[in-house]
């Protein structure tokens, strides 16, 4: 408090009290701080206190002939030998006037401190806690809460809550706009001061009943920025006395500063998020380049080697070795064709404007090739014919054939195919199928989507693990969930998972293993293709994932078999450590959209 006393020149104030009251001296004590007038009295008291003698200030004052003591919020005011013409009520009034000036100075200083806090801290919660702490020192209330507005859900949620039962509200409770006093303030933008909440018709006592806290009185003010309501501030239950209109004005000043702080923190948060996204994109770009280089160069090198070996084997007529070599070459050719098919699927789902630009470029290229073919001086007409056929293939978008599909039958077949394809893998694929659910969709597309997700789950689940495939119908949608108890995806990679050609492992770790092998990875295009299908044909795909707590980093390696994991002794520990769920949601009886016939029927 010493700073506040210096701001109001406490010595001059005490001198005025001496003259007005006709006292021989005035002493003001606040905690360990002691001020007195005239200066001789202050020096005597300070020497007494600093000497360490057993004589206390109280005993010193008791030796004075006429003492009048008055307790103030800020401390104790003592008049020594006041004039007999000045009654006690007048002395009390003088004390209250001094207290008023001290409090006003304290308020001014606290608001200044709040301004400094806002300019020096861009992290929202610490900043709000600091500002609310300053307001509590002035208003002397039991509970303070800052509730922010979710403009989409039209709800208030507790950003911070300070005081008794505050843990009940943080992060758990919401309040609809218009509900209760806080909801009323958020809806109207009007500040309210309520002396007895039980007498106010807007009061909603349900939270008191649930939390066990008892609200008696409150002030609630809107938090605004440029006229937009961002939330509200509540202060509840004055510790001594009642809230006043001055308290209301003080809280409104703090609310103005809080609005600016919230907006600054939001902007800062968005900038930080954008910066992190840029770093992720840069990392993704590097991975994509490394991955595509690996994915394309390795098969091509093998193919080249295969055919060189074919030539040598033909000379030796070693047909058995030749067959094995050709099979190996064919497997790598298939990988390239699969990658190409995924790229085609993605390109075919481009937006109309983007597709038109691509087609224009293709048409120009096609015209150029046709001109070259007509030129009799061009020798490589066979190559040009191949180029022409390839360009023509880009024009053709795979035709969609809508049909009514029994989901449990199709997904059951898909699971059998996956079990056959993964061969020696030791995985339990659990099928939880609600029977009799049909959707109308292109069968080939649905198979691509479902197999892509199941293959992804298998490749990320260690042997001795399990995967659950679920079909269920809810109120307004049909849902397919593919849940694996595998390694999961890190939070950083989750942001890029639908980005296309983004795989979650470094290229050095990803080793182009055979499909369905653990950690086989892939080109990263499966999920992008599924996402593009969903946007075009009106269903949704989303996911949630938890990275295995024993291998939290991308570079951490799972041994690929639960019994080989050094961190656990039971399978259940693996099942609870991480995993991912990908969900397909088809709206029931969705209307026909332009350019498609996507009606999902149960």
CATH 3.30.450 is right for the domain spanning 2-110 = yes
Which pLDDT belongs to residue 524?
57
SS3 583: strand
Is the pTM higher than 0.75? Answer: no
The residues of the chain scoring below 50 in pLDDT are: 1-4, 347, 350-355, 358-359, 362, 368, 372-373, 375-380, 383, 391, 393-397, 501, 507-512, 590-602
Question: Can you spell out the DSSP letters for 495-516?
Answer: TTTTSSS--SS-TTT-----TT
DSSP 590: P
The structure tokens listed for 584 are: 């397909």
Which of 318, 352, 292 is CA-nearest to residue 523? 292
* Contact residues for 308 (Cβ-Cβ < 8 A; gap 6+): none
Q: Are 453 and 415 in contact (CB under 8 A)?
A: no
Whole-number Å distance between alpha carbons of 145 and 147: 6
Helices and strands in the chain, H and E counts: 18, 17
Whether 2-110 shares its CATH topology with 122-272 is answered: yes
* Contact residues for 374 (Cβ-Cβ < 8 A; gap 6+): none
Whole-number Å distance between alpha carbons of 21 and 60: 21
Whole-number Å distance between alpha carbons of 76 and 36: 12
Whole-number Å distance between alpha carbons of 598 and 537: 6
402-587 has which CATH code? 3.30.565.10
Q: Which fold has domain 122-272?
A: Beta-Lactamase (3.30.450)
SS3 256: helix
Which pLDDT belongs to residue 197?
92
- Which phi and psi angles does 439 have, rounded to 5°? -135, 155
- What is the four-CA torsion angle of 42, 44, 46, 49, rounded to 10 degrees? -140
The structure tokens listed for 3 are: 């700073």
- Structural domain boundaries in the chain: 2-110, 122-272, 277-395, 402-587
Integer angstrom CA distances of residue 215 from 134, 137, 178, 207, 534: 21, 19, 19, 10, 50
The structure tokens listed for 75 are: 């401390």
């Amino acid at each position: 408090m010493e700073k506040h006393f210096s701001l109001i020149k406490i010595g001059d104030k005490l001198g005025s009290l001496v003259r007005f009251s006709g006292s021989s001296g005035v002493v003001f004590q606040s905690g360990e701080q002691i001020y007195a007038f005239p200066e001789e009295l202050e020096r005597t008291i300070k020497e007494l206190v600093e000497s360490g003698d057993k004589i206390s200030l109280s005993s010193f004052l008791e030796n004075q002939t006429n003492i009048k003591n008055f307790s103030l919020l800020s401390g104790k005011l003592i008049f020594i030998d006041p004039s007999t013409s000045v009654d006690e009520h007048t002395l009390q009034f003088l004390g209250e006037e001094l207290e008023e000036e001290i409090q006003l100075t304290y308020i001014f200083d606290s608001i200044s401190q709040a301004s400094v806090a806002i300019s020096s801290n861009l992290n929202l919660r610490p900043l709000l806690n600091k500002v609310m702490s300053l307001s509590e020192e002035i208003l002397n209330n039991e509970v303070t809460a800052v509730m922010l507005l979710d403009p989409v859900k039209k709800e208030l949620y507790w950003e911070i809550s300070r005081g008794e039962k505050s843990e009940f509200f943080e992060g758990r409770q919401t309040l609809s706009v218009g509900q209760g006093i806080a909801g009323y303030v958020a809806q109207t933008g009007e500040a309210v001061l309520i002396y007895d909440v039980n007498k106010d018709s807007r009061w909603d006592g349900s939270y008191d009943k649930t939390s066990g806290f008892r609200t008696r009185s409150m002030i609630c003010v809107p938090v605004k920025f440029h006229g937009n309501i961002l939330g509200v501030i509540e202060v509840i239950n004055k510790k001594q006395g009642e809230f006043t209109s001055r308290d209301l004005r003080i809280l409104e000043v703090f609310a103005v500063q809080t609005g600016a702080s919230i907006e600054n923190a939001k902007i800062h948060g968005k900038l930080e998020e954008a910066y992190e996204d840029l770093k992720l994109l840069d990392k993704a770009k590097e991975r994509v380049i490394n991955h595509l280089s690996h994915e394309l160069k390795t098969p091509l090198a093998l193919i080249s080697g295969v055919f060189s070996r074919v030539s040598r084997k033909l000379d030796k007529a070693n047909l058995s070795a030749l067959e094995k070599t050709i099979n190996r070459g064919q497997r790598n050719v298939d990988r390239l064709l699969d990658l190409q098919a995924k790229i085609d699927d993605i390109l075919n789902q481009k937006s109309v404007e983007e597709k038109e630009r691509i087609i224009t470029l293709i048409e120009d290229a096609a015209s150029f090739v046709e001109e070259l073919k007509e030129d009799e001086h061009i020798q490589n007409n066979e190559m040009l014919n191949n180029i022409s056929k390839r360009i023509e293939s880009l024009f053709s978008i795979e035709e969609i054939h809508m049909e009514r599909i029994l989901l449990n039958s199709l997904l059951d077949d898909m699971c059998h195919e996956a079990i056959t394809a993964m061969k020696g893998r030791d995985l339990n694929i659990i099928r939880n199928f609600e029977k009799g659910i049909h959707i109308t969709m292109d069968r080939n597309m649905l198979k691509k989507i479902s197999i892509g997700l199941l293959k992804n789950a298998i490749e990320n689940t260690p042997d001795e693990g399990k995967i659950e495939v679920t079909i269920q119908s809810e109120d307004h949608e049909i849902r397919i969930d593919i849940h694996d108890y595998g390694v999961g995806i890190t939070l950083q990679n989750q942001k890029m998972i639908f980005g296309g050609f983004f795989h979650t492992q470094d290229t050095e770790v990803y080793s182009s293993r055979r499909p369905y092998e653990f950690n086989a990875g892939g080109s990263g295009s499966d999920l992008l293709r599924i996402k593009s299908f969903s946007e075009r044909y009106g269903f949704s795909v989303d996911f949630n994932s938890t990275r295995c707590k024993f291998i939290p980093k991308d570079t951490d390696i799972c041994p690929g078999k639960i019994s080989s994991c050094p961190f656990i002794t039971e399978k259940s520990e693996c099942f609870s450590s991480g995993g991912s769920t990908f969900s397909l949601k088809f709206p029931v009886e969705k209307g026909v959209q332009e350019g498609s016939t996507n009606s999902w029927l149960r």
